[in-house]
Structure 1
Amino acid sequence: MTGYAGDIELAHRLADAADAISMARFRALDLRVTAKPDLTPVSDADTSVEREIRALLAAHRPDDGLLGEEYGEQPATGPHDRRWVIDPIDGTKNFVRGVPVWATLIALLEGDRPVVGLVSAPALGRRWWGANGLGAYAGRDAASGEPIRVSGVRDLADASVCYSSLTGWEAAGRLDAVLQLMRDTWRSRAYGDFYGYMLLAEGALDVMVEPELSLWDVAALVPIVTAAGGTMTTLEGAPAPGGTASGEISAIATNGPLHTDVLSRLGRPTAR
């Protein structure tokens, strides 16, 4: 295999194992949910999925580093600066309430640059993946994948915009700018978490914006969006993901032609 094809194949194997665990616990009557120190929920599915992925990576990529949302960081031991970044269940609040919009996010970084990404949403029956030089795809599984591409919309008045909760934008001092962006576009919806970015990569919408993320929330999304022809930066215009594993990451993802306009509108906090 050339390039990242072997890593994509492994990511699918990790996702297959994760899906089997998470779907068995989705809407389970005995699902166990606790609160983490930051008061966000964690279920027994989150921890079980991450443990299984860690075990598989230890067997197949023992020299690579690993960062997971639930169990922290394990440094690389090999000569190359490669690190897998895992969110076992992105959208845990949806998961614990029985809403099917949640996914396992799997990324491979070289240094600080995400080069492989896979998003598996088994309750939706859909998976997305992409890598530098290999393009972006979506389908039920690896065998059914079809190429995906961002839209060609060039005017914000014709654009469909997706955003995260408005409270986060208010805390970031950019609520007025986000509301004006919604007013100036054709349509706005808050699909949340990974899903808006994947709809963007498929060309179903044109802009996805989010003010505060952690590395595991965004690392897998970047290779898919960019391989599909999109552009993804922080609110300051730096290449995504930026930031650190501890949080304080922001994201503007667009189809490309709209990026400069969206960035100019959201890039600076407004007075409060």
Structure 2
Amino acid sequence: MDTPAGNTRYRWADDLDLLHEAALAAGEIAMSYFRKDPDVWWKNQGRSPVSAADIAANDTLKSMLLKARPNYGWLSEETDDDPARLSCETLFVIDPIDGTRAFIAGSDLWCVSAAVVHRGRPVAGVLFAPALKEVFAATEGGPALKNGNPVRVAAPDGVQPLRLAAAADMVSRLDTAALGAVERIPHVPSLAYRLAMVAEGRIDGTLVKTNSQDWDLAAADLILANAGGGLVDLDGRPLTYNRPDVRHGVLCAAGSAWLGRLISAAGGLDGH
């Protein structure tokens, strides 16, 4: 078994340092391609782009992380899935560029997402948005940090509407009686960064369409939880990572004061 020896909280903090170092290196590699018209290919029957920057950043992360933790498993959007990960208690869950479409278009809203998952839940996570010079980080039981400073979800003030990042067709189907007024936030192309926005209180919540995948979510899930929020399915259950199928259904994310009401309002979105 690959359970870390000794004090696990100390070990996760050590893993966070490793994730931070690797994410910064991968972000620097990605920036060397940014706004320079990198080669782009299409995968998933032409539905998802992947650029030369994604591959280069993935190679950097895989080399640095597995060299330091050869007993950890590996799951990345840009690496062929290895079923051996399912026998690993601990593994890296990686998206070298979350928001590839934004990256290709020259938008700043993309990030490197890197997490350590242990027994199905994230225990260390880093999001690095190089073009914005922002680093979000968290370990199990610790604070959520942005550039080294603690962040918290926003608390409802009873006056302002719920600031919700979600597709227009999802917002139109919400039971607004459970929520009150809703202000729809314009599209944020990186799902991981959108969850970080909830964690630091820039928005109140988000809805996630079906088919998000482990690498989109794991690092941001932990950061949001440590900031006082939650990412759950429509039954209010936290996500389990490193399953045979890494895809998820419709999800809700918000600060704890909003989350139950958002779940209730989103009940009709099941199967969306």
Describe the shift of the 1:34–1:200 C-alpha distance in structure 2 as closer, same or farther (beyond 3 A).
same
1:127 deviates by: 1.0
Provide the residue aligned with 2:173 in structure 1.
177
The one-letter amino acid paired with 1:20 is E
- Give 1:150's aligned residue: 153
What residue is the counterpart of 1:68 in the other structure? Answer: 76
Structure 1 residues 155 and 131, CA, compared in 2 at 3 Å: closer, same or farther? farther
> What is residue 233 of structure 1 aligned with on the other side?
232
User: Helix, strand or coil: the match of 1:208?
Assistant: strand
User: 2:31 aligns to what SS in structure 1?
Assistant: helix
For residue 3 of structure 2, what is the aligned residue in structure 1? none
- One-letter identity of the residue aligned with 1:265: A
Alignment partners' CA distance in 2, 1:56 and 1:44: 19
Q: Indicate if the aligned counterparts of 1:214 and 1:249 stay in contact, CA closer than 8 A.
A: no
The 3 A distance-change label for structure 1 pair 267 and 131 is farther
Q: Check conservation: 1:117, 1:221, Cα contact below 8 A.
A: yes
Q: Describe the shift of the 1:83–1:245 C-alpha distance in structure 2 as closer, same or farther (beyond 3 A).
A: farther
Partner of 1:261: 261
Q: Secondary structure at the match of 1:47?
A: helix
* SS in structure 1 of the partner of residue 223 of structure 2: helix
| Distance verdict in 2 for CA 1:4–1:246, change over 3 Å | closer
Q: 1:131-170 counterparts in 2 under 5 A?
A: 131-139=139-147, 145-153=148-156, 155=158, 158-163=161-166, 165-166=167-168
TM-score normalised according to structure 1 size: 0.85
Name the counterpart of 1:142.
none
Q: Deviations over 1:85-140 (max 9, x none)?
A: 0001110000111111000100111121111111110011111011111211001x
Give 1:73's aligned amino acid: D
Name the CA distance, whole Å, in 2 between partners of 1:211 and 1:93.
17
Match of 1:252 in 2: 252
> Which amino acid letter does the alignment assign opposite residue 146 of structure 1?
N
User: What displacement does 1:241 show?
Assistant: 4.9
State whether structure 2 residue 87 is matched by structure 1 residue 84. no
Deviation per residue, 1:10-35 (Å, 9 max, x gap): 01111111011100000113x10011
Q: Secondary structure at the match of 2:228?
A: coil
CA pair 244-238 structure 1, distance change in 2 beyond 3 A: farther
Name the SS of the counterpart of 1:225 in structure 2. helix
Q: Check if 1:37 corresponds to 2:44.
A: yes
Partner of 1:219: 218
More off after superposition, 153-162 vs 111-120: 153-162
CA distance in 2, matches of 1:265, 1:71: 37
The Cα shift of 1:181 comes to 8.0
Aligned residue for 2:247, secondary structure, equals coil
Q: 1:178 to 1:244 in 2, by over 3 A?
A: farther
6 and 138 in structure 1: CA distance in 2 versus 1, 3 angstrom threshold: same
Residue 61 of structure 2 corresponds to 53
Which amino acid counterpart does residue 194 of structure 2 have in structure 1?
G
Q: TM-score, normalised by structure 2?
A: 0.85
Is structure 2 residue 210 aligned with structure 1 residue 207? no
Could you say what the CA RMSD is over the residues aligned between the two structures, in angstroms? 2.7
Q: CA deviation at 1:236?
A: 2.8
Distance 1:181 1:6, change over 3 A: farther
Q: For the residues of structure 1 that align with 2:152 and 2:23, how far apart are their CA atoms?
A: 22
1:36 & 1:191 partners in 2: Cα distance? 22
Q: Which amino acid aligns with 1:267?
A: G
Q: Distance in 2 between the 1:7 and 1:42 partners?
A: 27
